[in-house]
């Protein structure tokens, strides 16, 4: 059956479903169960999707670390695939957008110690702490910097909350809790309750400490509020650190940034006559004030500094009627490379994270390229770099957009499409945020699925991938995941599967592809995103963020400016 015939069949089934809904609601349940048993195949070719995942996550690509030979191989692969689909280069004559970056590698003798009177605690790199500097300096240090417990390190005027009120942080080291008081207390009136806000993210905490003029900023790792274990911290930050290169060599950043383990923090608070638990309790109360500690922090780092560049890859399918309006499908191609000082299997293959999303962009591009109805709006396929280093490739893109952001109708991000079978639901990260969800709900209904909120809004997933940079600039963005309610095994099974993935494979060398990987869930989700884009590509509408979204104002401003 060719694509058109399939499409017609799908449309007929939808029409029947709609009729059934209106005329025979009683039999609808039975119909839905029938439909559920055999999820309809869509425009996404599973074999293509599978082949891209297998290839990109193979050892040949060495974990797709930016700035390495593996980057070249990855870029060549993506460019050749886009060319083969007949797409145009997204950056003038080139498929590549250079992202200038600086790589700072701390020597393993990175040292951090806390001194409280006669008592000194030396923390071991990787075991008790990881520290780094974002400043481009061969040697960076701090000596006897007075430590200040700043609670969650949050200044949120709209919530009447300021952990830094009345304290001068210059020359000092902030000791900061991860997440926010709403999460810790479960009090829905504090921030967003258990759901993480941007204030809960580590990126924000280092940024705020820098704005306060602090010399050091140390986050206390706790697995529950962080959403990941200490391994993830070590794997992410004790390897060479990549950052966007800036004119001032990142002089505006805090000198020493880092994480300490919960155990190290317990020792620190004990040396200051309190306990971590008590300190957390105080920090959770409205009106908390930063607490100067008796302890002082000293640290030193020797760095190897390398200026280099990574690349975003952009391909364009020009719209037939409104080529100046754009839809963006994106996924980050980069991952963590090789584990340093390791023997045996040391490659972070990143099959789920994010060969799946990268393959998803290619599979959706193929679906558009094979479709007989060509999109009236332009479609941009964007593979961004340096996501794992703090969403740097997408940050560079929104600072240097290849296509105007005000004319970018929507952005769809694919990051870690999980393996597994079909589900009755679709997880929407940060549900209720934008009008794009109306389109998504329609497409999901056609698959016999419903939209659901993410089960763990406390993890701040919305702030942890590339669509967030688009959202900050107002571009309506969708970030979805395969659902929880597995059609064959139920919700409990699926939740355990996901929890096991996070515990055992997320950002570990075990995130690998195997030939028996079940890709049906991914294919269904890609079909959804394709359907939403195909619909929008045929419309003139510009869906917006909902009124109560923190991103609405930015969109209204940018659209108003574009209209002038
Ligand atoms: Zn990742």
Average pLDDT, the chain: 90
Ion ligand 1, residue ranges at CB < 5 A: 353
Centre of ligand 1 to C-alpha 524, Å, is: 22
pLDDT over 90, % of the chain = 76
Residue 259, strand partner residues: 130, 219
* 356-383 CB burial, b ≥16 within 10 A, e <16: bbbbbbbbbbbbbeebeeebbbbbbbbb
Residue of 72, 551, 564 whose CA lies nearest to 310: 72
For residue 389, how far is its CA from the centre of ligand 1 (angstroms)? 9
Nearest to 508 by CA among 376, 354, 347: 347
Which is nearest to 234 in space by CA: 459, 507, 504, 461? Answer: 507
CA of 415 to the centre of ligand 1 (A): 8
* Mean pLDDT value across residues 108-117: 95
pLDDT at position 160 is 84
CB 133, CB 257: distance < 8 Å: yes
Q: How far is the CA of 28 from the centre of ligand 1 (A)?
A: 41
Q: Which of 451, 487, 485, 446 is nearest to 21 (CA)?
A: 446
Mean pLDDT of 106-111: 93
Tokens of 256: 């020493």
pLDDT of residue 457: 82
Sequence-distant (≥ 6) Cβ neighbours of residue 499 within 8 angstroms = none
Ligand 1 center–CA 390 separation, angstroms: 10
Q: What is the pLDDT of residues 358-375, one digit of tens each?
A: 999 999 999 999 999 899
- What is the spatial distance between Cα 421 and Cα 318, in angstroms, rounded to a whole number? 34
**What pLDDT sits at residue 20?**
41
User: Distance, CA 387 to ligand 1 centroid (Å)?
Assistant: 7
Q: How far apart are CA 106 and CA 256, in angstroms?
A: 12
Calculate how far, in angstroms, residue 232's C-alpha sits from the geometric centre of ligand 1. Answer: 10
Of 312, 333, 336, nearest to 244 by C-alpha is 312
Q: Which residue's entry shows tokens 């009008």? A: 435
Distance 270 CA to ligand 1 centre (A): 35
Q: Please report the pLDDT score of residue 28 as a whole number.
A: 37
What is residue 443's predicted lDDT score, i.e. its pLDDT? 97
CA 109 to centroid of ligand 1, rounded, Å: 27
pLDDT band at 1 (very low <50, low <70, confident <90, very high): very low
Between the CA of 52 and the centroid of ligand 1 the distance, in Å, is: 18
Measure the CA–CA gap between 319 and 167, rounded to whole angstroms. Answer: 55
Helix (H, G, I), strand (E, B) or coil at 130: strand
What's the whole-number mean pLDDT along residues 134-163? Answer: 93
Which residues does 164 contact at the CB level (< 8 Å), separation at least 6? 150, 153, 155, 208, 212, 290
CA of residue 164 to ligand 1 center, whole Å: 31
pLDDT at residue 461 in the model: 85
Cα–ligand 1 centroid distance for 454 (angstroms) = 18
How far is ligand 1, taken at its centre, from the CA of residue 464, in Å? 9
DSSP 8-19: HHHHHHHHHHHH
Structure tokens at 457: 């809004």
Structure tokens of 35?
């439909």
What's the pLDDT tens digit per position in 477-531?
999 999 999 999 999 999 999 999 988 999 999 999 999 999 999 999 999 999 9
The SS3 assignment for 78 reads helix
Mean pLDDT of the region 202-217? 95
Per-residue pLDDT reduced to its tens digit, 9-66: 443 444 334 334 433 333 333 334 334 433 445 799 999 999 999 999 999 999 999 9
CA angle 178/180/185 to nearest 5° reads 115
Check residue 191 and give its pLDDT.
82
Kindly state the average pLDDT of the residues 412-427.
96
The alpha carbon of 352 and the centre of ligand 1 are apart by a number of angstroms equal to: 9
Q: How many residues does the chain have?
A: 564
Centroid of ligand 1 to alpha carbon of 354 (angstroms): 7
Measured in Å, residue 80 CA sits from the centre of ligand 1 at: 24
Q: How far is the CA of 507 from the centre of ligand 1 (A)?
A: 6
CA of 182 to the centre of ligand 1 (A): 25
Measured in Å, residue 422 CA sits from the centre of ligand 1 at 23
CA of 68 to the centre of ligand 1 (A): 18
- Beta carbons of 532 and 439 less than 8 angstroms apart: yes
Between the CA of 345 and the centroid of ligand 1 the distance, in Å, is 19
Give 353 Cα–ligand 1 centroid separation in angstroms.
5
Distance 386 CA to ligand 1 centre (A): 10
CA distance 421 to 523: 10
CA distance 269 to 277: 9
pLDDT digits (tens, 9 = 90+) for 223-243: 988 888 999 999 888 888 888
Between 85 and 24, name the one with better pLDDT.
85
The sign of the dihedral angle between the CA atoms of 528, 467, 437, 403 is negative
Q: What is the DSSP letter of 351?
A: I
Ligand 1 mean position, distance from CA 555 (Å): 28
Separation of CA 100 and ligand 1 centre (Å): 21
CA of 320 to the centre of ligand 1 (A): 36
The three-class DSSP label of residue 298 is strand
d(CA 556, ligand 1 centre) in Å: 31
Which parts of 159-275 are beta strand (E)? 161-162, 173-177, 216-220, 241-244, 256-260
Helices (H), 260-373: 262-271, 276-283, 357-370
pLDDT in tens, 324-349: 999 999 999 999 999 888 888 899 99
Cβ atoms of residues 395 and 307 within 8 Å:
no
């Amino acid at each position: 059956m060719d694509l058109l015939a399939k499409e017609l069949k799908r449309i007929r089934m939808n029409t029947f479903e709609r009729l059934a809904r209106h005329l025979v609601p009683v039999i609808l349940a039975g119909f839905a169960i029938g439909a559920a048993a055999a999820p309809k195949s869509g425009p996404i070719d599973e074999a293509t999707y599978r082949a891209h995942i297998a290839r990109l996550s193979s050892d040949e690509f060495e974990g797709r670390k930016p700035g390495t030979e593996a980057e070249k191989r990855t870029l060549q692969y993506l460019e050749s695939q886009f060319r083969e689909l007949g797409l145009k280069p997204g950056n003038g004559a080139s498929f590549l957008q250079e992202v200038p970056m600086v790589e700072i590698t701390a020597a393993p003798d990175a040292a951090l110690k806390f001194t409280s009177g006669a008592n000194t605690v030396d923390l071991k790199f990787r075991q008790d702490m990881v520290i780094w500097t974002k400043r481009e300096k061969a040697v960076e240090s701090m000596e006897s910097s007075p430590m200040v417990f700043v609670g969650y390190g949050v200044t949120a005027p709209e919530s009447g909350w300021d952990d830094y009120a009345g304290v001068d942080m210059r020359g000092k080291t902030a000791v900061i809790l991860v997440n926010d008081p709403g999460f810790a207390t479960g009090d829905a009136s504090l921030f967003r309750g258990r759901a993480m806000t941007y204030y809960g993210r580590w990126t924000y905490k280092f940024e705020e400490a820098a704005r306060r003029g602090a010399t050091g900023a140390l986050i206390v790792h706790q697995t529950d509020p962080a959403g990941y274990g200490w391994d993830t911290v070590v794997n992410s930050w004790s390897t060479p650190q990549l950052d966007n290169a800036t004119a001032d060599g990142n002089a505006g950043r805090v000198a020493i940034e880092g994480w300490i383990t919960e155990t190290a923090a317990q020792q620190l608070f004990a040396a200051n006559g309190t306990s971590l638990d008590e300190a957390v309790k105080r920090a959770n109360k409205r009106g908390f004030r930063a607490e100067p500690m008796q302890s002082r922090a000293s640290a030193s780092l020797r760095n190897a500094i390398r200026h280099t560049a990574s690349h975003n890859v952009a391909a364009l399918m020009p719209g037939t009627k409104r080529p100046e309006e754009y839809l963006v499908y994106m996924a980050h191609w980069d991952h963590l490379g090789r584990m340093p000082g390791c023997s045996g299997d040391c490659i972070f293959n990143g099959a789920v994270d994010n060969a799946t999303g990268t393959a998803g962009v290619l599979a959706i591009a193929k679906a558009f390229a094979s479709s007989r109805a060509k999109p009236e709006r332009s479609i941009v396929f964007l593979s961004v770099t340096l996501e794992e280093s703090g969403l740097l490739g997408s940050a560079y893109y929104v600072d240097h957009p290849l296509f105007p952001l005000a004319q970018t109708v929507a952005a769809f991000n694919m990051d870690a499409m999980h393996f597994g079978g079909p589900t009755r639901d679709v997880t929407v990260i940060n549900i209720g945020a934008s009008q794009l969800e109306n389109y998504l709900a329609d497409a999901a209904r056609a698959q016999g699925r419903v939209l659901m909120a993410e089960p763990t809004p406390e993890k701040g997933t919305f702030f942890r991938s590339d669509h967030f940079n688009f959202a900050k600039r107002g571009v309506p963005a969708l970030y979805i995941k395969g659902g929880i309610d597995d059609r064959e095994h139920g919700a409990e099974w699926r939740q355990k599967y996901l929890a096991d993935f996070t515990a055992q494979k997320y950002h570990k060398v075990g995130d690998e592809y195997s030939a028996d990987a079940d890709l049906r869930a991914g294919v269904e989700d890609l079909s959804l995103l394709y359907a939403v884009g195909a619909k929008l590509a045929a419309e003139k509408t510009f869906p917006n963020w909902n009124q109560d979204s923190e991103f609405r104002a930015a969109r209204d401003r940018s659209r108003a400016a574009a209209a002038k």
